[in-house]
């Protein structure tokens, strides 16, 4: 699905990613982990072409992103959903309207406007079914800002799924909720992605969650990959060394 070859990303004089080589297969579930500033968000930004690599190649499904025209890039992006840390919901819109925004590429301006002003019954029914899967179907017609943090995260997940993507990129989507809710949400996203056969690339701070739900964990530090593999015992030791004080995790220490 995603291939990175000798990718370097610089912001001015600062190196965000340094000589990255990665291959993420279709349907794979990958967790990016590392301290703040390690390059997790930068890497996610490269995967859907939100940022361009300073050097090296980023390919999605065999297509080099640098060679795509603006329109081709938009078309490609319509197959990759993004769940940012702040979720990017429109607080004054109702849940079903927020979810409908997931299909912005397909609908275009007038189609989306139509959905926002007066959504067709058939579309409402589809969204209702989708919300059942994330467990907040009874909130379908409530305003996004009337929901709890955890419920808002489910709306963002539903919006991503409504896009019918082949990959979901989630940038620390559970950083603002308590550990129990975070576990439920990661479990939900992981299960849904598996059911849909969607590639999932998620960045996390929590090592326990990474071990629990992901077969493949990529550890980043200072823009470099310092670990890439299964979160087995040997790997955990590496991860612990990698995390240092930025990722305290009592379960690992014990």
Partner 1 sequence: MRRRWFLLGGIALFVLGLWVLKAHPRELVPSEGGRQLASDFFGAALRPALDYEDRAIRSVGEPFATKVAKAAWLTVKYAVVAMSLALILGIFGGVLGSRAWWTRGSLFLTSLRIGVRLLATALRSVHELIWAILFLAAVGSSPFAAMLAMALPYGGTLAKVFSELLDEADQGAAQVMQAGGGRGFAAFLGTAVGALPDLLTYAMYRLECAVRSSAVLGFVGVPTLGYEIKVSFEDGHYHEIWTFVFVLLLIVLFFEGWGGRIRRMLVQGVVPKVNLGKKSTLAELWQARGKSWFLRLTLLSLVTLIAVGWLLEDSWGATLSYEQRMANLSRFWSELVPYPVRESGDWGDTWGWFMGLMREEGLVALWRTFHLGTAAALLAGAVALLGLVLSARTLATGSPREVRVDGGRLRSLLGKGVRVSAVLGRSAPEYLLAFLLLQIFGPTMWALIFALAIHNSGILSRLGSEVIDNNRSGAATVMIASGGNRSATLLGALLPTGFNRMVLFLFYRWETCIREATILGMLGVGSLGFLISEARVSFFYDELLLWIIMGSLLVFIGDIVSDLVRLRLKK
Residues that bind partner 1 (CB under 8 A): 48, 50, 70, 74-84, 86-94, 98, 101-102, 104-105, 107-109, 112-113, 116, 124-125, 128, 137-138, 140-143, 145-146, 159, 163, 165
Q: Shortest gap between Cβ of 106 and partner 1 (angstroms)? A: 8
Closer residue to partner 1, CB minimum distance, 98 or 153: 98
The residue (of 94 and 211) whose beta carbon lies closer to partner 1 is: 94
Quick one: how many helices (H) and strands (E) in the chain? 10, 10
CA distance 77 to 56: 20
CB of 245 to partner 1, least distance (A): 30
Instruction: Report in angstroms how near the CB of residue 186 gets to partner 1 at its nearest.
Output: 19
The closest alpha carbon to 42, from 80, 14, 71, 79, belongs to 14
Compute the least distance from the CB of residue 96 to partner 1, in Å.
Answer: 10
Q: What is the CA radius of gyration of the chain?
A: 18
Question: With respect to partner 1, which residue has the nearer C-beta, 172 or 206?
Answer: 172
Given a contact cutoff of 8 angstroms between Cβ atoms, the answer to whether 183 and 106 are in contact is: no
For partner 1, which is the closer residue by CB, 124 or 216?
Answer: 124
Query: How far is residue 28's CA from residue 194's CA, in Å, rounded to a whole number?
Result: 9
Helix-helix angle 179-196:121-134, to 10 degrees: 120
């Amino acid at each position: 699905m995603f291939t990175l070859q000798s990718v370097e990303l610089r912001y001015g004089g600062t190196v965000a990613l340094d000589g990255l080589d990665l291959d993420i297969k279709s349907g794979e579930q990958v967790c990016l982990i590392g301290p703040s500033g390690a390059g997790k968000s930068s890497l996610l930004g490269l995967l859907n072409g939100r940022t361009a690599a300073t050097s090296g190649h980023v390919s999605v499904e065999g297509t080099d992103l640098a060679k795509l025209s603006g329109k081709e890039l938009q078309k490609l992006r319509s197959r990759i959903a993004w769940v940012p840390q702040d979720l990017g919901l429109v607080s004054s819109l109702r849940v079903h309207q927020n979810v409908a925004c997931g299909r912005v590429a397909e609908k275009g301006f007038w189609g989306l406007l139509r959905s926002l002003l007066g959504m067709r019954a058939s579309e409402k029914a589809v969204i209702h079914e989708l919300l059942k899967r994330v467990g907040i179907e009874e909130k379908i017609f409530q305003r996004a800002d009337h929901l709890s943090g955890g419920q808002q995260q489910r709306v963002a997940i539903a919006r991503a799924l409504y896009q019918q993507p082949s990959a979901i990129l989630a940038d620390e989507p559970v950083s603002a909720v308590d550990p129990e809710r975070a576990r439920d949400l990661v479990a939900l996203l992981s299960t849904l992605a598996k059911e849909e056969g969607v590639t999932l690339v998620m960045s996390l701070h929590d090592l326990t969650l990474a071990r629990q739900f992901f077969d493949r964990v990529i550890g980043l530090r200072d823009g470099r990959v310092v670990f890439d593999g299964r979160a087995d015992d040997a790997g955990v030791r590496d991860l612990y060394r990698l995390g240092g004080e930025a990722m305290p995790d009592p379960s690992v220490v014990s």
